[in-house]
Structure 1
Amino acid sequence: MKRRDLLRNIALTSVGVATASTGITANTTQNENLVEVAKKKKSKAAPGRTPEEEVRDAKLMAETFFTPHEMATLTVLCDIILPADAASGSASQAGVPAFIEFIAKDMPQQQTPLRGGMMWLDNQSMKRFGKKFVEASAPERIQIVDDIAYPEQAKPAMKQGVAFFNLMRDLTMTGFYTTEMGIKDLGYIGNQPNVWQGVPEEVLKQYGLTGAE
């Protein structure tokens, strides 16, 4: 089984991470004003969202959490986890790094594991190759990833890296397979409208019926 097919199966059996919003505190005058604006202007991009949710999402989207270096690291690692293939684009092409940054802002408890994990990657890369993870060659990056991508085989000293990679794998798979690109990659069609053209002729013949009957 190809690695991408294996990851697809993982995505089908487990979403990997909960991304429920934690709500918004609208006690300040600024937030109250924003809520009123949202009530007057219905969002076309997010049907079913309350004005408070739209305000909170917009505020989070406008904020920046990761540094440019951290975003570059996320992008490289996401594409190692889910690279492009002949059928679909890579995780970064689907916008997964931006999704992970949103999660970090929406779920602050993920900030330290994510930021600490990227520091761990850089420290490992500096020790081994004298350069940060994004500056390392592709084979050098894979050497580090191979040490943390398989929990059952990982050495005890790699414990922090394993935990970080597990989190990144969950977030990458969740982010990718909830995008249009990811859904197409799964081959999921869902409910599709069609036109009823009557019972097929071969079925009618099977039961001794004709189209005229």
Structure 2
Amino acid sequence: MDRRKSLKSIMLGSVATGLAATGCKPGEKTTDVSETLAHEPVKWRTKYENKILEEIKSEDNFFNDHQRETMTVLCDLILPATENYKAASDVDVVGFIDFMARDRESEAMQTDLKGGLMWLDHKCNTENGVEFKGATEAQQKEILDTIAYYDPEVPESERPFEVNFFSMVRNMTMTGFYTSKIGIEELGYKGNMPNVWNGVPDDVLEQHGVSYDPEWLAKCVDQSKRNTIAEWDENGNLLT
């Protein structure tokens, strides 16, 4: 299993079920996270939630240009484009992370995000004489390989700062991508959709030693009547 499939399987287990389908191919129209966050107040949010959302959206961006560019490189290394799939930057995952960081309850996240980006630049300058975003992909991956694999036996509070930073960015990259329109399509998540039910399979009925009453079978599993509104008598018996 390649790394993208591994990441996808984690996401499938946590936010969706079913088989993963082929995602959008490069060249198709993208819908980035900033579009999702920019819509007008909606009725399924409370007035308080809409008020907080507007306050966050009205704030200046959390990342400056250099930080955004560095974070974009980092997120695309975590979830790169392939022949069949989009990259993190194709749905503006950094816009999602920026939005989350502007949440008024995310002061610790803000410190860790900017501190982690500073660590990447310092580490890359020390070892390669160049900022992280300007290094070669091989140099970038060599640095990330030192912080990408934490020991699950070690409590988070005892891990190195840079290890926790990478873990947080990886989690947010996956969340941002796979909750976007493109990411959901890549997962193959269909949501609630009408289907055709032909009853419990015969082999399952036989296994349990049960069978359908022909009268009920005709009323409940006849697909020609699927749009017929059920009618009941006064005693609760199904008529149609």
Please say whether Structure 1 and Structure 2 have the same fold, judged by a TM-score greater than 0.5.
Answer: yes
- Partner residue in 2 for 1:12: 12
User: CA separation in 1, counterparts of 2:8 and 2:89?
Assistant: 16
Would you say how many aligned residue pairs link Structure 1 and Structure 2? 174
Q: Does 1:174 align with 2:175?
A: yes
Correspondence for 1:50 among 46, 49, 66: 46
Give the conservation status (yes or no) of the 8 Å contact 2:41–2:50: no
Q: TM-score, normalised by structure 1?
A: 0.72
User: CA separation in 1, counterparts of 2:184 and 2:198?
Assistant: 32
User: CA separation in 1, counterparts of 2:50 and 2:83?
Assistant: 36
User: CA separation in 1, counterparts of 2:167 and 2:198?
Assistant: 51
Please list the CA deviations of residues 144-175 of structure 1 after superposition, one character each: whole Å capped at 9, or x if unmatched.
1111111249xxxx922211100111111111
Shift of 1:58: 2.2
Three-state SS of the structure 2 residue aligned to 1:116 is: helix
Structure with greater helix share of residues: 1
- Amino acid aligned to 2:97: I
Cα-Cα RMSD: 2.9
User: CA separation in 2, counterparts of 1:199 and 1:51?
Assistant: 44
- Partner residue in 1 for 2:85: 88
- Partner residue in 2 for 1:39: none
Shift of 1:65: 1.4
Three-state SS of the structure 2 residue aligned to 1:183 is: helix
Give the conservation status (yes or no) of the 8 Å contact 1:66–1:101: yes
Shift of 1:96: 0.7
Name the CA shift for 1:112/1:199 in 2 (closer, same or farther; >3 Å).
Answer: closer
List gaps (5 residues or longer) in structure 1.
Answer: 16-42
Please list the CA deviations of residues 81-125 of structure 1 after superposition, one character each: whole Å capped at 9, or x if unmatched.
111123321111112100000111112221001110000000000
Moved over 4 A (4+): 207-212
List gaps (5 residues or longer) in structure 2.
Answer: 16-38, 153-158, 203-211, 225-240
Please list the CA deviations of residues 165-205 of structure 1 after superposition, one character each: whole Å capped at 9, or x if unmatched.
001111111111111111111111121135x6x969xx9xx
- Amino acid aligned to 1:86: E
Q: TM-score, normalised by structure 2?
A: 0.64
- Percent pairwise identity: 41
- Partner residue in 2 for 1:65: 62
Name the CA shift for 1:199/1:178 in 2 (closer, same or farther; >3 Å).
Answer: closer
Shift of 1:45: 6.3
Three-state SS of the structure 1 residue aligned to 2:146 is: helix
**Highest RCO, 1 vs 2 (Cα 8 Å, sep ≥ 6):** 2
- Amino acid aligned to 1:115: K
User: CA separation in 2, counterparts of 1:103 and 1:199?
Assistant: 45
Structure with the greater alpha carbon radius of gyration: 2
- Partner residue in 1 for 2:99: 102
